[in-house]
Amino acid sequence: MIKYIVIAIILIIVLSFFGYDLQAIIESPLAQKNLGYAKSGVVYVWDNYLESPVNYFWNNIFIGLLWNAFLNNLGRINAGAPTELEEMGQRLLDIGNN
């Protein structure tokens, strides 16, 4: 993520060196029209194709499984108890010893 920010900053510096005014370009009517068109396309794709699967993943998988397990294990660590993974690992070691 940081490398993309650095690349964007370098790109802005290079464009400035060659005399391009980014503010004038972005504020021009043609650029505004193109950005509006791109925005409407992104909104259409989000509304019709991505919103439902992303919301399902977020609510049922990330929050339902991962986040709740994370909070449960964080509480165990805070209490000084072993995490669920440590408990399962110990059970597997106990099975191997029998």
Q: How far apart are the first and last CA of the chain?
A: 49
Give tens-digit pLDDT for 43-97: 999 999 999 999 999 999 999 889 988 999 999 999 999 998 898 888 888 876 7
User: Quick check: pTM over 0.75?
Assistant: no
Phi and psi angles of residue 28, each rounded to the nearest 5 degrees, phi first: -65, 150
Question: CB 82: neighbour CB atoms within 10 A?
Answer: 13
Inter-residue long-range contacts of 82-89, CB under 8 Å, 24+ positions, other chains counted: none
> What pLDDT score does 44 carry?
97
d(CA 52, CA 59): 11
